[in-house]
Structure formats: C-alpha cells, structure tokens
Chains A and B, each alone.
Chain A
Amino acid sequence: MTPADLAWLPLAPILTPLGIGLLLLYPWRRPVRVGLALAGALGVLVFAAWLVAATSGGAVLVSSLGGWPAPFGIVMTADRLSAWMSLLAAVSGVLAVWQAAADPDPVREKHHLFGLLFFLFAGVQLSFLTGDLFNLFVAFEVMLVASYALAVLGSTREQLREGFRYIVMNLVASALLVVTCGLAYGVLGTLNFAHLAQRSAELGPNATVTAVGVLLLIVFAAKGALFPLGFWLPGTYPALPPAVGAFFAAVLTKVGIYALIRVFTTVFNQDPALPNTLLLGLGAVTMLFGAFGAVSQREWRRIFSFTVISSVGYLAFGLGLGTPEALRASVAYLAVSVLVTAALFAIAAVAERAAGSRLVTVRGMIDFLPLLAGCFLLCALTVAGLPPSGGFVAKYALVRAGLAQGSPLALAAVFSALLASLILLYAMLGVWRGFFWGKHLVMFPVYRVPLPLRAAAYAATALVAGLTLFAGPLLGWADATAAELSEPGQYIRGVLGDEPVVIPPPPTVPEAP
C-alpha cells in the first residue's frame, strides 16, 4: 500500500461521522438510532486506527479535494500527529456515544442529540486532518456550531447562561482567526500549511510572520482555554449533559493544543523565541490556575473541568520548552490527558447518578461502589502524576525536559508544574475523602446506576490503565512523532512533492477571433 493508494483515507474519518450525523436526523426509533450511532463511532475508530497504522512508517497521506494539487486546492493531510489526534478523538467519541446510549434522555434525543454529536465528531476530525489554514477555521466553525447547539440543547437556565458565554467567547476568537488567515495570506501568499512553511523558511526570521504566529497563538489559546482566556470553561462543561460533557472535556481543548503544535512546529518555526516564551509563561500560570480551581470546587464535574485547564497548562509548557524531548513528552501527555479526562467524566456521571447529587460531599459511597472507587483512585493518581500511572511517566518526561532546557523561565515553569501536581493531588484526595470515605448517612438515598453506564466508566479506566502498561510503546510513538515534527521537511515534501512549487504566470489575453 503506497501513500498514493491510501489517498482516500484521510477523508474517511471526516465523512463517516458527517454521513452518520445526517442519517441520525431522521426520527428513527431509539434502538435503531443507538445502533447506528454506535456503529458510526466504531467505524470512525477503525478508520482512525488505520490512519495511525498507515502513517506509522513516516508516510504523509494526502488527499486533494476536487483533484486540485496541493498549494492550489484544499488538501487533507495525515502525518503521525494528525493520525494520533484523530485516534484519540475517535476513542473519546466511542465512549461518549456509549454513555449517551446508556443514559436515555428523550427530550434532548428528540432534538437530535446524537446527530449533533456526530457533526461535532466530523468537525473535530476535520480540524485534525486538514492541511490548510483557512480550512482549519472552517473545521473549527463546524465543530463549534455543533458544540454551541449541544451546549444549549435542553435550555436549562444554567445551559443558556454558560452556552451564551461560550458562544460569544468563541465567536470573538473565530473573528480573530479569520483576520489572521487574511494576514497570513497577505504576507506569504498562500494558505496551505506545507506551502506556508516553505515560504516562511525562505523568508527566514521575519517580524511580520512572527506577529501572525502570535495572533494565531492568541486564538488557539482561547480555544484551548489557556489562563486568561479560559474563564468560560469551568462553567460550561458542568452545564452540559454528562455524555456530551465528557467528549467536550476530553477533546475540544486539545484541538486548540493540536493547532498550536501544528502551527509552531510545522509552519512558523523560524523565530520560535517569542511564541515559546509566551507559551511557557501562560502554561505555568494555567497549571496553577487549574489546580487551585480544582481545590476550590465542591461539585464533581466542576472539579474535573479545572483539572482539564490544568492539563492544558502542562501541554502549553511542554510546547513552550521548544526542545524535541519536551515535544515528545507533550505528545505522550496528550494521550494521557484525553483518556484520563474521558474516564474522570464517565466516573463523575456514574457518581452523580448514584448519589442523586452533583456534590462530592456525600460520604461513604465506597460501600456501594467499590469498583468505581478503585477506578477513581487510578484516575486521580494519573491526574496528579504519581506512579504507577501513565500520568507519572508523561509528567516525569515533561519535568525532565524542562530541567534539561534550563532557562530561568523553564525552571520556574517546572517548579509550577510540580506545585500544581501536588495541589491537584490534594484536590483529588478531597474528592476521595468527601465521596468515598467515611460513613454514609442514612438520610441520603443511593440510586441504582444502570450497568452500561458503569461499564463505560470501567472501560475508560481500563484505557487509562493501558497507558501505564503500554507506556513503552506510547513513548516510542511519541518519540517518532516528535522527531517527525522537528523535521518539517518531510511533511512539506509529502504534501507538495519533491519538485519546487511553480506558480503559473498570469494568462495572456487571447487573440480576438
């Protein structure tokens, strides 16, 4: 199978959820709808796994839409990083559909919860697999419009308030992204990632290009909820229905992080000093902000929303260090963060259902949910980055990379990372003490949680445990990804071919007949 034979493959994870989403708009009976949704999510997972397998040799798969070759038309490209992100999103998608299927919600489902969820998947996959800056904006919008609708679906007052805040914040960021696309086109005369990279490499370090890069950093920091721009996140995610919230929390911020990695390693890598300093500083503050926020909250999903913010801070820190080891640690931590967030939100859904309350101060639930308590303990250790969890492996690699880089700001960020981990551990122990430990009071009823919903939490935790067991292959994969990212020449050649791009001269006026 050469890359040319597999040119259709980058389109498959995008078109599958789009088609399934359209099919789900028809008012099927619930079993049919759930079956269709599960089949669709598993189909996306199969295609994403195939992408990972196809790119594992370092090939770059390119599918040009409408047959227009790379710099002139829009292309879908899949390298190791894109395929990896696509796989993580597909896994979270399967878990989200599983929870939505196990937790009937007639009102929301009547108004196309499943269909919107699949349009969201399509937008997310498109953002990971597109090879074009403006098309990335379109992908963000597809993803965000679906997420806006999901955020306000059900119209509780809390959802309206948080949804409105979320929509306004993201629309401002999107407007800035449109302007930045225009500026990038004005400066470099192209929008294709590979071609942008080629031309910015020809220009060398250039203040205008750096300015465009920093504008993109601001946009993606807003989408990825870095410190000053992430104020909308802790309110928005708990307001969502649990299954949808799990997918949002696991994947949507990571789309911003992916875009940051793509832009600053592949495209605008000529003058990394300013973006890296910004990312390091913002990352260091974001981790602490997330950790302190997690300590301050008393509701399951609010606590975990803050741990999401904290994990974004760790990723920004790893990206801002700017060394290949740090990039490798960030790619590994991406997987840890996505899976553990999905698992924590699945656990939170079960716990909220069992206690009939969003609060974690119910006490003594370990008698009723012993297996869930074990799951939570593993995920808590992963979040805090303690052995024996995959979180420890990834955070250890991050801290080592920070110490190896050794600039004063990096050392400050390392200190902040260790402190944030400690605070997160305290927050997680607070949940443990409040919910599982102690003596259960008789006046609080304990509700039965349907087995499929619990099974989703257990399956997600099994994936988190798998991170520990397969930490070696994971870091090997991350190593290869980081090596590929630090050598953008391979990506550029994969997309544009070996020949230099020739822009044809403007046509001459045809002779009058």
Chain B
Amino acid sequence: METLFAVIIGLLVAAGVFLLLSRVIVRVVLGLTFIGYAANLAILTVAGLRDVSPPLLTLPGPYMDPLPQALILTAIVIGFATTALLLTVALRAYQVAGHDDVEAFGDNLARDPGAHDGSFADPEHQSPDRPDVEDEESAPVAAGSRP
C-alpha cells in the first residue's frame, strides 16, 4: 500500500514539475495544484496507512491518528486560496496581454532590446573617468509606477 502511494506521489510531483516548467501560465497554476495534492498524499502516507477504526469512542480500538488529516484539511484550504489568487493574477495577465504565454509579462532582463550593435551595454551609466558632460543622450526614464 505504501509502495503504491509512494509511486502515485512521485507521479503527481513529476507531472506537477513538468507543468511548472511550461510557458503557459494556466499550466503553471495546474502544476502547482498537482504538487499540492502530492504533498497532501505524502502527509497521509507518513501518518500510516493501517486498517484501524476512525477515532470515535463508540467503536473498538485501536484508533487512527486524526491529526494528519486535520493538517491535510488545513493545507487544502490554504491551497485553494492561493490557487484562486494565482488564477486571478493569470487572468489579469491575460487581460493585459491578450494571450496566456509567460511572455505576457514582458521581460525586464533585456535592458534595451532594440539596441543596435556597437552601442554601449549600459548607456545611462557613464564611466567614472568621464566628466559631467552636458551631452548625455539618455535622459533618466520617468518612474512608470504611477500615472
């Protein structure tokens, strides 16, 4: 039984990681939920998969430990909330960009994607040995965080 559960948990995590590495935002969200399910199953397995009574005093013992199931319930509730929040972010990205590839977010790593060859890698940084010249081409970019 434990072996079966271990295999299932491994498959869920593998599927989750595979989806997490996708470029489609919704698949990333699905991958995270898969990993969450695997975590819940792992707690259940660690608590022991024995054939014993539920913890009700009217039944004969030995009893099952109810605590891991309480942990799983908590984790499910929290996972639900975070997934909902992540989906709203994904939806908003889709509204902003019109498609649900991670490209919707743009990329800030390329400083100046339109730069032609031979230009400085970092035009707004002058080398320390250049004086305070007035011929700076690049005016500072206005902070775009606030209209």
Chain A residues with a Cβ under 8 A of chain B: 105, 134, 137-138, 141, 144-145, 148-149, 152, 154-158, 160-161, 163-164, 167-168, 171-172, 174-176, 178-179, 181-183, 185-186, 191, 235, 239, 241, 298, 352, 355-359, 361-363, 433, 438-439, 441, 443-444, 506-510
Contacts and interface: CB of A to CB of B under 8 A. Distances in A.
B28 A358 contact: no
Contacts of B62: 506
Contacts of A149: 85
Interface in B44-81: 46-48, 57-63, 67-68, 71, 74-75, 78, 81
Interface string B118-146: 00001011101000101010011111111
A178 B38 CA distance: 10
25 contacts: A138-B78, A145-B85, A156-B144, A158-B106, A158-B144, A158-B145, A160-B104, A164-B86, A167-B86, A171-B32, A175-B39, A178-B75, A179-B39, A182-B43, A182-B68, A182-B71, A183-B42, A185-B47, A186-B48, A191-B67, A241-B145, A356-B143, A357-B142, A444-B140, A509-B57
B82 A145 contact: yes
A160 B46 contact: no
Interface string B1-28: 0000000000000000000100001001
Which 7 residue pairs are nearest across A and B when measured between Cβ atoms? Answer: A161-B105, A182-B43, A186-B46, A357-B140, A178-B39, A359-B140, A182-B46
A39 B145 CA distance: 28
Contact of A157 (B82, B106, B139): B106
A168 B81 contact: no
A168 B39 contact: no
Contact of B57 (A157, A172, A510): A510
Nearest to B48: A186
Contacts of B60: 509
Nearest to B90: A164
B99 interface: no
A160 B93 contact: yes
A164 B141 contact: no
Given A181-B71, A443-B139, A359 B124 contact: yes
Contacts of B139: 443-444
B62 to A, nearest CB: 6
A358 B143 contact: yes
A175 B36 contact: yes
B61 to A, nearest CB: 5
Interface residues of B, number: 58
Contacts of B58: 510
A161 B101 CA distance: 12
Given A134-B74, A163-B89, A298-B122, A183 B141 contact: no
A185 B92 contact: no
B23 to A, nearest CB: 13
A161 B142 contact: no
Contacts of B124: 298, 359, 361
Given A167-B86, A185-B67, A298-B122, 17 more contacts: A134-B71, A149-B85, A155-B92, A156-B145, A160-B89, A160-B96, A168-B20, A168-B32, A171-B32, A172-B32, A178-B39, A178-B40, A183-B46, A355-B140, A438-B132, A507-B61, A510-B57
Contacts of A145: 81-82, 85
A171 B82 contact: yes
Contacts of A298: 122, 124-125
Nearest to A156: B145
Contacts of A186: 46-48
Given A179-B43, A181-B71, A363 B132 contact: yes
Nearest to B128: A433
A178 B32 contact: no
Nearest to A151: B89
Contacts of A144: 82
Contacts of B108: 158, 161, 235
A507 B28 CA distance: 47
B41 to A, nearest CB: 10
Contact of A167 (B59, B85, B107, B144): B85
Nearest to A159: B145
Nearest to B83: A171
Given A152-B89, A185-B68, A172 B35 contact: yes
Contacts of A105: 146
A211 B77 CA distance: 27
B57 A358 contact: no
Contacts of B48: 186
Contacts of B140: 355-359, 361-362, 444
A182 B78 CA distance: 16
Given A134-B71, A361-B126, A164 B143 contact: no
A141 B105 contact: no
B132 A439 contact: yes
Contacts of A176: 39
Contact of A441 (B67, B90, B122, B134): B134
A360 to B, nearest CB: 9
Contacts of A154: 145
A171 B86 contact: yes
A182 B82 contact: no
Contact of B92 (A148, A160, A191, A441): A160
A386 to B, nearest CB: 21
B96 A155 contact: yes
A141 B71 contact: no
A182 B132 CA distance: 61
B61 A509 contact: yes
B89 A172 contact: no
Contacts of B20: 168, 172
